[in-house]
């Protein structure tokens, strides 16, 4: 058996030598014929045509994109149009647009497998003005207001369950608005984006600039002959006698003491959000409220729900009692759309609370 193994090793070695010589011959023929060697893509053309090619070489078959060049503008056709964190009804509502508002369209996204009842076409737009975003506080230098991480995601809310609306590179400067727990709210960078259903936007392609007329050539200058003036030699200057120059020593200026500017006061910005889900009674007796909002798709809790209270007289002759402005009991087990201020309760920092201002039943 040892001999058979040695014979097999010799055959394998001869094959490698023959393959190497063949490759060298092919390269020599290509160079002699003036051919150029091109890189071959490892991604199948069928996959590349089916969807977006991601950074790691995979192909996202769920969507395909059409980039507008130059970037197009659009006008909102209806009232209360939702701007979402993702091209799907699963994306949280970031802000609402009104009829006649203008948006900047970055690209059009077509979903090949949309969920039932969802639009197929979406626009990725620049995030509307005055819409803040959130970053994880540990990755921002609170003194220099710069990003410490190599690449930092900014999201639509204070938590990892919110959508990514863009990224910041290391050293980027941010404007801090407020801090809530481990998250910091900042002004949205210029590259922040969001999504809106395409059928609710009327596109308006930017007109091509009119080329400026070519300038007329200047007239040729006239050449006028000027008679040469006679050259008169200057008389030799008299010898100067150097005189000592007095040395003036300047007195040092007194030091200027500059007091540091006062630290800016932190301004808390009220965050108003709109969430859609099913109202449930709170399961934990230590919950900050008696009600919670459950996700329609995942069944997980999104927010706690709380109704502001007003002191009223319930019965004559008895002291005033705190009465909720909105009675949430009739909405238990029903699908609703709630709007109100979102904040973090100091006793329960894992899930934000919404002070319900408006609640609407959904079909």
Do 142 and 87 fall into the same domain?
Answer: no
CA-CA distance, 343 to 360, in Å (whole number)? 21
Q: Mark whether 178 and 283 lie in a shared domain.
A: no
Compute CA 72 distance to the chain's CA centroid, rounded to the nearest angstrom. 18
Sign (positive or negative) of CA dihedral 330, 335, 340, 346: positive
* Residues 81 and 196 sit within 8 Å (Cβ to Cβ): yes
Residues 178 and 303 in one domain: no
Residue 174 lies in a domain: yes
Instruction: Give the H/E segment covering residue 143.
Output: none
Say what the pLDDT of residue 35 is: 35
Question: Based on the structure, what is the number of domains in the chain?
Answer: 3
Q: How far apart are CA 75 and CA 288, in angstroms?
A: 42
Listed residues 169, 204, 239: the one ending a domain: 204
One domain for residues 152 and 183 = yes
CATH number for the domain that contains residue 72: 2.30.30
Which one-letter DSSP state was computed for residue 7?
Answer: H
Strands 146-147, 151-155: pairing kind: unpaired
280 occurs within a structural domain: yes
Residue 106 CA from chain centroid, whole number: 12
Distances from the Cα of 89 to the Cα of 80, 85, 106, 114, 196, angstroms: 15, 9, 20, 10, 10
User: With contact defined as beta carbons under 8 Å apart, do 362 and 336 qualify?
Assistant: yes
At 256, give phi and psi (nearest 5°): -100, 120
Residue with tokens 């969802």: 118
108 pairs with which residues across the strands?
66, 123
Show the tokens assigned to 64.
């395909």
Q: What is the pLDDT of residue 237?
A: 56
Q: Which of 147, 171, 204 is the last residue of a domain?
A: 204
Instruction: Give the model confidence (pLDDT) of 3-55 as tens digits.
Output: 333 334 444 455 555 655 566 665 455 554 443 333 333 233 333 333 343 33
Of 143, 159, 187, which one is at a domain's C-terminal end? 187
d(CA 353, CA 273): 11
Residue span of the structural domain in which 149 resides = 133-187
Answer yes or no: is 1 within a domain: no
Instruction: Check whether residue 200 and residue 75 sit in a common domain.
Output: yes
Question: Does residue 99 form part of some domain?
Answer: yes
Residues of the chain with pLDDT under 50: 1-12, 27, 32-61
**Angle at the Cα of 21 from the Cα atoms of 15 and 22, rounded to 5 degrees:** 90
Same domain, 93 and 159: no
Do 200 and 53 share a structural domain?
yes
Question: Residue 37 has what pLDDT?
Answer: 30
Question: Longest Cα pair distance anywhere in the chain, in angstroms?
Answer: 121
Coil, strand or helix at 20: helix
Looking at the fold, whether 109 and 200 belong to one and the same domain comes out as: yes
Q: Is 330 inside any structural domain? A: yes
Query: Does this model's pTM top 0.75?
Result: no
- Is 61 inside any structural domain? yes
Cα-atom radius of gyration of the chain, to the nearest Å?
A: 36
> Are 73 and 179 in the same domain?
no
Same domain, 163 and 74: no
The answer on 147 and 106 residing in a single domain is: no
**Is residue 333 situated within a structural domain?**
yes
Cβ atoms of 122 and 197 within 8 Å: the answer is yes
**Token digits for 3?**
């001999």
Position 248 scores a pLDDT of 67
pLDDT confidence of residue 61: 39
Residues 280 and 344 in one domain: yes
Task: Let me know: does 147 contact 169? Beta carbons within 8 Å.
Answer: yes
Q: Give the phi and the psi of residue 76 in degrees, each rounded to 5.
A: -70, 135
Residue 86 placed within a domain? yes
What pLDDT is stored for residue 346 in this prediction?
76
CA atoms within 13 A on the CB side of 199: 5
């Amino acid at each position: 058996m040892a001999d058979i193994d040695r014979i097999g090793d010799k055959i394998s070695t001869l094959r490698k030598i023959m393959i190497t010589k063949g490759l060298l011959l092919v390269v020599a023929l290509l160079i002699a014929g003036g051919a150029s060697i091109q890189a071959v893509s490892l991604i199948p053309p069928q996959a590349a045509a089916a969807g977006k090619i991601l950074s790691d070489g995979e192909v996202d078959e769920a969507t395909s994109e059409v980039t507008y060049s130059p970037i197009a503008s659009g006008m909102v056709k209806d009232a209360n149009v939702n701007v979402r964190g993702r091209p799907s009804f699963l994306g949280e509502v970031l802000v609402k647009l009104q009829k006649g508002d203008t948006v900047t369209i970055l690209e059009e996204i077509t979903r090949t497998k949309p969920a039932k009842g969802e639009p197929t076409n979406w626009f990725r737009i620049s995030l509307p003005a005055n819409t803040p975003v959130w970053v994880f506080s540990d990755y921002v230098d609170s003194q220099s207001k710069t990003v410490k991480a190599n690449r930092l995601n900014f999201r639509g809310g204070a938590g990892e369950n919110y959508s990514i609306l863009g990224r910041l590179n290391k050293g980027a400067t941010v404007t801090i608005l407020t801090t809530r727990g481990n998250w910091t709210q900042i002004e949205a960078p210029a590259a922040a984006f969001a999504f809106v259903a395409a059928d609710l936007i009327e596109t308006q392609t930017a007109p091509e600039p009119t080329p400026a007329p070519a300038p007329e050539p200047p007239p040729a200058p006239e050449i006028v002959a000027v008679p040469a003036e006679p050259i008169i030699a200057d008389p030799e200057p008299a010898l100067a006698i150097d005189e000592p120059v007095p040395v003036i020593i300047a007195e040092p200026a007194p030091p200027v003491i500059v007091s540091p500017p006062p630290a800016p006061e932190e301004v808390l910005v009220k965050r108003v959000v709109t969430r859609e889900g099913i109202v449930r009674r709170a399961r934990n007796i230590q919950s900050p409220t008696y009600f919670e909002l459950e996700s329609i798709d995942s069944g997980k809790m999104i927010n706690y729900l709380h109704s502001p209270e007003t002191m009223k007289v319930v019965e004559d002759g008895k002291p005033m009692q705190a009465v909720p402005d909105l009675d949430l009991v009739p909405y238990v087990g029903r699908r609703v759309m709630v709007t109100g201020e979102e904040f973090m309760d100091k006793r329960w920092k894992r899930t934000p609370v919404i002070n319900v201002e408006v609640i609407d039943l959904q079909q």
